[in-house]
Amino acid sequence: MAQYLLAVMHDDDYSDVDFQSPDMQRIVGQVSALNEEAQKTGVWMFGAGLAPAASATVVRSVDGQVSMTDGPYAETKEQMGGFWIIDVPDLDAALEWAGKCSAACERPIEVRPADG
Amino acid sequence: MSDELDAVFRREAGRCTATLIRVLGDVDLAEDAVAEAFAIAADHWPRKGMPPNPGGWIVTTARNRAIDRLRRESTRTDRHIAAHRLHLEDMEPDDTPELDELDAFVDVVADDQLRLMFLCCHPALAADAQVALTLRLLGGLETEEIARQFLVPEATMAQRIVRAKRKLRDNHAPYRIPRPAELPDRLHVVLAAIYLIYTEGHRATSGDALTRTDLSSEAIRLGRVLVELMPDEPEAVGLLALMLLTDARRPARTNDDGSMIRLADQDRSRWDRALIAEGHDLVRACLRRNQPGPFQIQAAIAAVHADAPTSKDTDWSQIVALYDQLYALRPNAIVAVNRAIAVAELDGPHAGLDALAALDLTLLDDYQPYHAARADLLARAGEHAAALAAYDRAIELSAIPSEQQFLRDQRAAVSA
């Protein structure tokens, strides 16, 4: 078995998304159903939505000195808004799940193998 | 001897590599083992004579060498196989097989080449990486040769291949034939990669014609392997037919100086009749299955051309009908422009121009064949000034010297 990160990609800031809107309600329902399926089939290891990138803090340890800076590590337009970690036999299975995840959250998914 | 060895290498390298990847679970180890076996052959065969079954000899030698090496470096075995770099199916060794058990898995399985095709053409790889990996692993071409064929520096090609292999390994890409549900999409990627290799070889007709011709032949060889392994896939048969029927025109496509001759102006007596006959048989065989697909339709179009003794005698109404069918499946600029050219042959240049005018210009402005086709139709319709402007745009967009020369000659004929 191999683990993969399925990252939900956003092209823009989603900090002002209204979770009560019909669109978001639909997506939340789809994602819940998907999570349930992933848990039932045993591929689910973890998954969560993330607070917007503006909430990020970058921590660095250099020569034993820990410093912190505000903001995301990279100031890019595309940000990870959530993720799953799944445990499946191979890449093709991971891609199949990524397809389901993309359909559920209505966002592109970046698939990255975990170097286990 | 070296020619014979070369021929054996071309024929067997991909098959051997495919089997050893399954046995060893690692692409690089398999490549090394096959290279080693051919090096031994180059030493032994000239002295002792070619063995009766050279391919079998190579597989056995590569297998034995690889297993010897794994025995010598047993820690490496564990590391490689346990690392599970390429995910193996249940029928293959366990994560840590006994080395004796390994022997049982090394018989050549016809499916191995198919697995390797699907691995090289994994949709997680970019098209240029799929093509490079296919030529490297299934074609046995050296990285330097592939780089030369695609006109990129060797270092660029080497990096492309290394990255592709690493991506497949890091991602645990499976070494298997896709399940029936995945098969149509996955097969299409394989077919597209083989056709890309073919067109790359077919397109260039200038100074490096000889080496690029090899690329077309390699694509046809891969097409034959695929049809042999998947005889029930009509699109695979359609692709092979398309390549054979296109290749049949090769002797008539260029002048002695390498410049291009249009289909309409080709000396059809120079077309390769044996290839046409084979292509026709394949087209008929796959159309009988009545599961039309883009490659089959393109092959059918090529077959209609091959049937006509002259361009004038071509059954253009059938060609327009086939392009309509193709456009329904693949509504893209290439198909639309070719359809317009066929319409012009059927109903005259004005009808062809009307068909072009109906297309979305914003998508076509950078598309050289659109401007070349429009220039030709405008010239035939007597609209010379507009034709010259269209030729200028087509020449500007062309990157192939022989094609530019052809367009300049056409333009000169209009202004004269």
B174 and A92 within 8 Å at the Cβ level: the answer is: yes
- pLDDT over 80 at A116, yes or no: no
- pLDDT over 80 at B215, yes or no: yes
CA–CA separation, B94 vs B110, rounded Å? 21
Which pLDDT band holds residue B204 (cuts at 50, 70, 90)? Answer: low
Residue B320 dihedral angles phi and psi, to the nearest 5°? -60, -40
pLDDT at A94: 97
Residue B127 dihedral angles phi and psi, to the nearest 5°? -55, -40
pLDDT at B91: 36
Looking at the whole model, is its pTM more than 0.80? yes
Residue pLDDT, tens place only, A28-55 = 999 999 999 999 999 999 999 999 888 8
Q: Which of A90, A95, A111 sits opposite B87 (nearest CB)?
A: A90
Q: Extract the tokens encoding A29.
A: 């329902």
A90 and B172 within 8 Å at the Cβ level: the answer is: yes
pLDDT at B75: 60
Which pLDDT band holds residue B212 (cuts at 50, 70, 90)? Answer: low
- The position carrying tokens 């994602």 is A31
Lowest mean pLDDT of A72-81, B16-25, B102-111, B177-186, name the range: B102-111
pLDDT at B325: 96
pLDDT at B271: 95
Contact in structure between A4 and A92 (CB atoms under 8 Å)? no
A113 and B124 within 8 Å at the Cβ level: the answer is: no
Which residues of chain A neighbour B173 with C-beta distances below 8 Å? 90-92
Q: How far is CA B343 from CA A105, B117, B192, B348, in A?
A: 46, 38, 27, 7
Q: What is the maximal distance between C-alpha atoms in chain A?
A: 50
- pLDDT over 60 at B218, yes or no: yes
Q: Extract the tokens encoding B207.
A: 């100074």
Helices B111-120, B2-24: inter-axial angle, 10-degree rounding: 80
- pLDDT over 80 at A6, yes or no: yes
- pLDDT over 60 at B28, yes or no: yes
Chain B CB within 8 Å of residue A90 CB = yes
CA–CA separation, B355 vs B259, rounded Å? 29
pLDDT at B74: 65
Which residues of chain A neighbour B87 with C-beta distances below 8 Å? 2, 89-91
CB-based contacts of A96: which residues, under 8 Å, 6+ apart?
none
pLDDT at B3: 80
Q: Which of A1, A86, A88, A91 to mutate to test the interface with B (most CBs of B within 10 A)?
A: A91
A113 and B182 within 8 Å at the Cβ level: the answer is: no
ipTM for the assembly: 0.86
- pLDDT over 60 at B82, yes or no: no
Q: How far is CA B16 from CA B66, B136, B158, in A?
A: 12, 13, 22
A91 and B178 within 8 Å at the Cβ level: the answer is: no
Residue pLDDT, tens place only, B242-262 = 999 999 998 898 888 777 788
Domains of chain A and any CATH numbers: 2-113 (3.30.70.1060)
> Which residue spans within B175-317 are E strands per DSSP?
none
Which pLDDT band holds residue B78 (cuts at 50, 70, 90)? Answer: low
CA–CA separation, A106 vs A47, rounded Å? 16
Which span out of B98-107, B126-135, B176-185 was modeled with the highest average pLDDT? B126-135
Chain B CB within 8 Å of residue A95 CB = yes
Which pLDDT band holds residue B90 (cuts at 50, 70, 90)? Answer: very low
Which DSSP state fits A6? E
